[in-house]
């Protein structure tokens, strides 16, 4: 009996945990209420309020959401693909090669963990200007293509893979790239999944740099589009804004609900060095 209640949750803990949880979902719950009801019910809770999808239709028509969705999806995929390829190569070099300058190179990588590209806005904007890339999806993604975090994470993982596997493959005449592709990448699959989830949710949500580097609908991602959309000062229409907000977070929210466990675990894995 005592063992079961070993500092276990008392009813007070359960109550506290639930109250906090309710408080935490309150903003989202409220957004749901407003988005699915006619505007006149936006500010008052009436149980007999009729349900409607009209707000979503109007929001969809009020801004080029289809374009924003496409931009964000392409952007996120582009960044992830580049990050995976580049950091796999770099991590492999750090984990399995001994070469002069490797420590300096690794230190150069680690610097990015503290000083991320989004702090160097002004200078990176100038660079994009010189490259003629301002207002393109490439410009939003390019500074993030080389991810120090991914390199670090994969290097740790690769170092944990037994060297014997590597040597055995080498004896059979496999080239370095073949070994990387056939041995290391498959064995690191859980880490790739973890990083992919972190990367996708980060870049889906990223705002400041995309805001600065884009100025047309053709390149704007959802976050920037949403901000432009909601700052239109024509009498604040809460039902419209919450509908638009829910639309833009829907893919992430649905993904999160479906893969809740993987999400949490991947963030856990990403956090433990």
Partner 1 sequence: MQAAAARAGNAGAGQRAIHAWLLLLPALTLLVAFTHWPAVATLIDSFYSTPRGSRPGVWVGLENYEVMWDDPVFWHAVRNNLWFAGATIPLSIGLALVMALWVNERLAGRTLVRMAYFTPTVLPMIAVANIWLFFYTPQYGLLEQITGSLGLPSHNWLGDPSTALAAVTLVAVWKEAGFFMIFYLAALQTLNPSLKEAAAIEGASRWYFFRRVQWPLLMPTTLFVLVNAVINAFRLVDHIFILTRGGPDNATTLLLYHLYEVGFKFWDTGYAAAITVVLVAVLASVALVQFFVLDKRVHYR
Nearer to partner 1, 66 or 114 (CB): 114
Identify which of residues 187 and 202 has a Cβ nearer to partner 1 in the complex: 202
**Would you count residue 231 as binding partner 1 (CB under 8 A)?**
yes
Q: How far is the CB of 73 from partner 1 (least distance, A)?
A: 14
Show the 3-state SS of the chain.
Answer: CCCCCCCCCCHHHHHHHHHHHHHHHHHHHHHHHHHCCCHHHCCCCCCCCCCCCHHHHHHHHHCCHHHHHHHHHHHHHHHHHHHHHHHHHHHHHHHHCCCCCHHHHHHHHHHHHHCCHHHCHHHHHHHHHHHCCCCCHHHHHHHHCCCHHHHHHHHHHHHCCCHHHHHHHHHCCCCHHHHHHHHHHHHCHHHHHHHHHHHHHHHHHCCHHHHHHCCCCCCCCHHHHHHHHHCCCCCCCHHHHHHHHHHHHHHHHHHHHHCHHHHHHHHHHHHCC
Nearer to partner 1, 50 or 100 (CB): 100
Q: Which of residues 232-251 bind partner 1 (CB under 8 A)?
A: 236, 238, 241-242, 244-245, 248-249
Within residues 39-58, the interface with partner 1 by CB under 8 A covers 43
Of residues 77-136, those binding partner 1 (CB under 8 A): 86-87, 89-90, 92-94, 97-102, 105, 108-109, 111-127
Q: Which of residues 125-184 bind partner 1 (CB under 8 A)?
A: 125-127, 142-143, 145-146, 148, 151, 176
Tell me the site size for partner 1, rule CB under 8 A.
96
CB of 172: closest distance to partner 1 in angstroms? 18
In the bound state with partner 1, the residue whose beta carbon lies nearer, of 77 and 110, is: 110
Site string for partner 1, 194-213 (x = CB under 8 A): -------x--xx-xx--xx-
Give min distance, CB of 61 to partner 1, in A: 18
């Amino acid at each position: 009996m005592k063992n079961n209640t070993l500092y276990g949750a008392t009813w007070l803990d359960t109550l506290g945990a639930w109250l906090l949880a309710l408080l935490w979902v309150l903003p989202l719950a409220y957004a749901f209420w407003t988005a699915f009801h006619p505007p006149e019910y936006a500010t008052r809770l009436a149980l007999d309020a009729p349900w409607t999808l009209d707000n979503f239709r109007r929001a969809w028509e009020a801004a080029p959401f289809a374009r924003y969705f496409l931009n964000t999806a392409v952007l996120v995929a582009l960044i992830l693909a580049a990050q995976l390829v580049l950091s796999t190569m770099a991590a492999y070099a750090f984990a399995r090669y001994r070469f002069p300058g490797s420590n300096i190179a690794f230190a150069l990588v680690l610097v990015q963990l503290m000083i991320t590209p989004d702090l160097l806005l002004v200078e990176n904007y100038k660079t994009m200007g010189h490259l003629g890339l301002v207002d393109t999806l490439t410009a939003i993604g390019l500074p993030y293509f080389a991810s120090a975090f991914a390199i670090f994470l994969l290097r740790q993982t690769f170092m944990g893979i037994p060297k014997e596997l590597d040597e055995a493959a080498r004896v059979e005449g496999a080239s370095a790239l073949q070994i990387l592709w056939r041995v290391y990448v498959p064995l690191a699959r859980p880490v790739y999944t973890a990083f992919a989830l972190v990367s996708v949710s980060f870049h889906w949500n990223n705002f400041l740099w995309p805001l600065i580097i884009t100025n047309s609908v053709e390149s704007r991602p959802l976050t920037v589009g949403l901000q432009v959309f909601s700052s239109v000062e024509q009498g604040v229409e809460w039902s419209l804004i919450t509908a638009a907000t829910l639309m833009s977070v829907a893919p992430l929210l649905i993904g999160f609900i479906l893969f809740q466990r993987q999400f949490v675990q991947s963030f856990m894995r990403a956090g433990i060095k």
